[in-house]
Amino acid sequence: MKYPNGRKRAPLAGNRSEQNNLVNQYSNRGMTLEDDLNSTNEFYLQADKAIIHKKPTPVQIVNVNYPKRSAAVITEAYFKQASTTDYNGLYRNKYVDFEAKETKNKTSFPLANIHEHQIRHMEAVVKHGGICFLILRFTVHDETYLFPAERLFPYWKKRMTGGKKSIPYEVIKEEGYIIPFQYQARLDYLRIIDKLYF
């Protein structure tokens, strides 16, 4: 089978029912949230729906080993500065900015996964009229949610004043928006943005 990104999937061994069981059992294994979002954003770009990219992490390269010119290996590097959020871009004349996080936790999303400088950045984006949110994947439940930044801020403030250090899974289910897994736009979060902001 040839997928839209040009990669081929090798045929599975065994009879048809064994193959179907294997495909169902391993359908999303090995795919990270980042892989799914990058694929989705590439689809959006190719379909001329939105321009959203993963932000590069600013790194200062200190030492490089050159065994051959074509095989240079970075042996030492440092983060230049704390990064803000993972993705940003434009959709329907609006600035879009979001952070993507995966958790293996069954019952909550730990707020320790978000940093204060990221919250400040998200607050500034919202203040200036941008669309800002988290995309959270609960790997145990195999569910991915869009959680608006405006709903994240109260939980962060409570945490900073001695409150809970996480957002319960049930709250994210109730206050967030599930993003179903699809074929082309694997995580079609623009459909949720359309409902929330347009």
Residues making up the binding site for Mg(2+): 84, 86, 99, 118
Distance CA(174)–CA(1), nearest Å, equals 38
CB 184 within 8 A of CB 118: no
- Binding-site residue numbers are 84, 86, 99, 118
**Distances, alpha carbon 66 to alpha carbons 18, 63, 74, 75, 107, in Å:** 48, 10, 9, 10, 47
Q: Count CA atoms within 13 Å of residue 160 on its CB side.
A: 10
Bridge partners, residue 54, by sequence: 87
Bridge partners, residue 88, by sequence: 53, 97
* DSSP structural state of residue 136: E
